[in-house]
Amino acid sequence: MMWPQFLAYTLTFGVPVSLLYCIRREPERRAELLGAALLIGCMSGLLSIIVGIFGIPIWLRDYPPAIIGFAKLMIFAAPLSSISILLPIAAQADQKFSLFNKFRIMPGLLTVSFLAALYYFHHITVYTVAVAYLFASFPSIIWSAIWVANNIHPNLRNLLPSARTLISYGVRAWGGDLVGTISDQIDRVLVVAMLLPEDMGFYVVALSSARIFAIIPSALSNVLFPKLVSLGPTRGAALFLPVCFLVLFFMSLVASPMIFGASFLLKLVYGTSFLPATRVFQVLVVEAIFGGATWMLAQGFSAFGRPGRSSLQQIVGLACAVPLLLILVPRFGLSGAGWAILGSTLIRFSFAIVNYVILFGVNIRVAAQAVKDLVSARRNVVRDGAKDCSTGTI
């Protein structure tokens, strides 16, 4: 199940974010840009198949031959994953966010429906579940492909110039995607070798629970990215940084009950046996807050035509995460893993802020004051509204 998706996302060569950026910059070329992107996506999917067929027997050498053979068969789903990444971008670039959300939500709903049917008919096996995850979204891909064909009319005219445009920007952004994918997994790869299996279970539960906050910056980035490309770096960065600070403030307010009530929430959801994960869960919630803001800042670099800086930001974070994990986990155990990830995220966040000042001339004091004024105005509106309600004027 993992390898087709992992390889498809790893071997994008940055084309998805490049396609969104280029369409927003040159909307009159969207048909030929999308055609070139789909062709590159098909080729990267075929490359994923080749890499998977030769790599899976090595990566899964400790697994039974039947599992290895089935995994090699499932690698043929990689082109579907590659295409499914690209098709919704056309709706996002046109700012048809309602349709874009439907394209994004439908695969998950189909997968859940497929799994429910397997459960109802008592056909849950390793093989049927893998097929459900990899192929249940096929009707959604067909639907989005039909919409793209009817509304965008992708073609292969000016193929080489279009491909060159996409790759030129994409390769610079690809480094960030690749390192980001590795960064999301490196902590578990290293921690699993240094913690007891029970502690590893606590860490995974705490991490997955804390990362629920990623929904907020991810949703905002999907909406803001096309608009930021149109605004340009000078004007866009001056407006975008206060937005990131405001999101950081908002996420802190939302997360505060989870931090202070961590033991109660873990006991309520997972039971008393997971209470040892309380401390690391609190640390990882703080990491998720700053990680969300850092993710938005990285998307801003790409939207303002500086994808290489986004890649460098990810590289800096990875370069800090590995030594921090190797130093803190053996010494502090489960909590050390959380502090290592938090430290790496804070370094990436600081790196991004400094680069916004250097590259785009953003004034941090002005941005912070804008957020303060907005929060104060919001507080005054709520207070005045409460007074009006109490006097019966509303």
Quote the percentage of the chain above a pLDDT of 90: 10
Task: Give the model's pLDDT for residue 370.
Answer: 64
> Could you read off the pLDDT of 342-357 as tens digits, one per residue?
999 999 999 999 998 8
> Could you read off the pLDDT of 201-246 as tens digits, one per residue?
788 888 888 888 777 887 787 778 777 877 778 778 888 888 888 8
pLDDT at 394 over 50: no
> Could you read off the pLDDT of 6-52 as tens digits, one per residue?
888 788 888 888 888 888 888 888 899 999 999 999 999 999 999 99
pLDDT at 387 over 70: no
Please give the average per-residue pLDDT across 242-267, as a whole number: 87
pLDDT at 390 over 60: no
Smallest CA-to-CA distance from 112 within 140, 74, 91 is with 140
State whether residue 63 is helix, strand or coil: coil
Q: How far is CA 267 from CA 44, 205, 209, 281, 334, in A?
A: 45, 12, 13, 12, 18
Task: Give the model's pLDDT for residue 392.
Answer: 43
Of residues 266 and 191, the one with the higher pLDDT is 266
pLDDT at 381 over 80: no
Taking a C-beta distance cutoff of 8 angstroms, is the pair 169, 22 a contact? yes
Task: Give the model's pLDDT for residue 389.
Answer: 39
Half-sphere exposure of 371 (CA within 13 A, CB side): 18
> Could you read off the pLDDT of 272-329 as tens digits, one per residue?
888 888 888 899 899 989 988 888 888 888 888 787 788 788 888 888 888 998 888 8
Please give the average per-residue pLDDT across 189-197, as a whole number: 70
Q: Residue 61 — φ and ψ, nearest 5°?
A: -65, -20
Of residues 17 and 389, the one with the higher pLDDT is 17
Please give the average per-residue pLDDT across 355-371, as a whole number: 76
The Cα–Cα gap between 89 and 101 comes to 11
Task: Give the model's pLDDT for residue 373.
Answer: 67
> Could you read off the pLDDT of 117-171 as tens digits, one per residue?
999 898 888 889 888 888 887 888 899 899 989 888 888 888 899 999 888 888 8
Task: Give the model's pLDDT for residue 384.
Answer: 47
Q: How far is CA 371 from CA 215, 239, 347, 361, in A?
A: 22, 11, 22, 18
- AA letter at 136: A
Angle subtended at Cα 341 by Cα 336 and Cα 347, rounded to the nearest 5 degrees: 125
The Cα–Cα gap between 51 and 90 comes to 28
Task: Give the model's pLDDT for residue 39.
Answer: 93
State whether residue 14 is helix, strand or coil: coil
Task: Give the model's pLDDT for residue 393.
Answer: 38
Task: Give the model's pLDDT for residue 271.
Answer: 84
Report the range of poorest mean pLDDT among 109-113, 204-208, 382-386.
Answer: 382-386
